[in-house]
Amino acid sequence: MKKNEFRAWDKDYKKMFYNIGILPLKHPCKTQFVEGFFSFRIGLKNIIIMQYTGLNDRRNIKIFERDIIDIWHCIDGKFIKVRACISFESPCFRTDFGRRVQLHSTCEVVGNELENPNLLKENENI
């Protein structure tokens, strides 16, 4: 069974928090995060929570929602390198370039759309 893991992006501080646990508080618009030994409270409107896909790339890096990956994909009988962003559309994870692809050991995480938005603009150069 896949282990549920999450990370969170703080919009105000522009910082990613990994391996977070989410503890609901009494106030419905706030939550408490635990990262390692640190815990902090934050308003839900200030964060973006991303879920681990349960898959790793060819370098054994975990693939999360909003990660940007490079993947070899067969289009019209030719293999081309495509850069895509991972999103969650229940009940599965998908890429943003309009075709279904299988995430497997040949893909490579190159960043994420929150810390590295310029990587998506470079897609035309691949």
- Quick one: pLDDT at residue 37? 47
Band of residue 17 on the pLDDT scale cut at 50, 70, 90: confident
CB–CB of 17/7 below 8 Å? yes
- Burial of residue 36 (CB within 10 Å: 0-12, 13-18, 19+) is exposed
The candidate with the shortest Cα–Cα distance to 48, out of 19, 16, 85, 24, is 16
SS3 111: strand
pLDDT in tens, 33-80: 555 545 555 566 788 889 898 888 999 999 999 999 998 877 788 888
pLDDT in tens, 94-107: 776 655 556 666 78
Q: From the CA atom positions of the chain, what is the Rg in Å?
A: 16
| Domain boundaries along the sequence of the chain | 6-125
With 80 as the cut, is the pLDDT of residue 22 above it? no
The candidate with the shortest Cα–Cα distance to 52, out of 5, 104, 18, is 5
Separation of alpha carbons 85 and 122, rounded Å: 12
